[in-house]
Amino acid sequence: MEHIRIVLCRPSHPGNIGAAARAMKAMGLSDLRLVAPQRFPAPEAEWMATNATDVLKKSRIHENLAEAIADCVTAFAFTARPREWSPQVLDVRAAAARAMAAGGKVAFVFGNESAGLTNDEMFACQALVHIPANPEFSSLNLAQAVQVAAYELRMAAGHGIPAAHSEKLATVADLEGLYAYLEESALASGFLVPESGSRLRERWRRLFSRVPGLEREEVNILRGLVRALRGGKARQKAE
């Protein structure tokens, strides 16, 4: 499961970082990324990691989530709260199965212990993941949530059917480039009017979140099509 990455956004308790590392190693995961941790390295992290300090030592720190997942083909955001206009929502088992079938690096993204993920962090991911729990008390400790996800990934690894991709999959950076070009084109054509309060940006993100395994060439085709349509409109105006 070397293609699976665990990303902790703004963790405030170093003990949770260590406990998450322990949960990862127990399930065969080793790629840990920390986004703006409040305090790390810290002795509490090593205490809670027990014999998984090697995962801590190999972990990498990033300034923001975009940097931590830029080379991933899919990122799954974990949240206990429903969000309006969110990307596609999956339960953790379905997300694990999809992750194991992916043809590139996949990130499982967890938010801060008290505040969770910001809306910007959530929309940087292609799907939301929910861990079914007691509706009267659905809050899990950060490390516990990582443990549940790591377990489901390990189970999925034994039963998943690997996908055969003849083309390179689109990365998060490729998708962000597409979204930026769509917005630029929509603004230039007048299709998107900023003052209108349109949710167009969120809608196309939600649309593409329903298309797992989008290939880089497919992203390039979409950008080329929009470019050609913009050029055709320009020629029509010129005439």
**Closest alpha carbon to 73 in 197, 215, 179, 191:** 215
CA atoms within 13 A on the CB side of 173: 7
pTM (whole model) above 0.85: no
3-state SS class at 181: helix
What tens digit of pLDDT does each residue of 169-224 get? 999 999 999 999 999 999 999 999 989 999 999 999 999 999 888 999 999 999 99
What tens digit of pLDDT does each residue of 179-189 get? 999 999 999 99
Query: Which domains occur in the chain, in start order?
Result: 4-157 (3.40.1280.10), 172-238 (1.10.8.590)
pLDDT confidence bin for 26, thresholds 50/70/90: very high
**Closest alpha carbon to 229 in 122, 221, 62:** 221
d(CA 197, CA 149): 36
Neighbouring CB atoms inside 10 A of 137's CB total 7
DSSP 88: E
Buried b (16+ CB within 10 A) or exposed e, 69-78: bbebbbbbbb
Cα 111 → chain centroid: 11
Which residues are 7's β-sheet partners? 33, 109
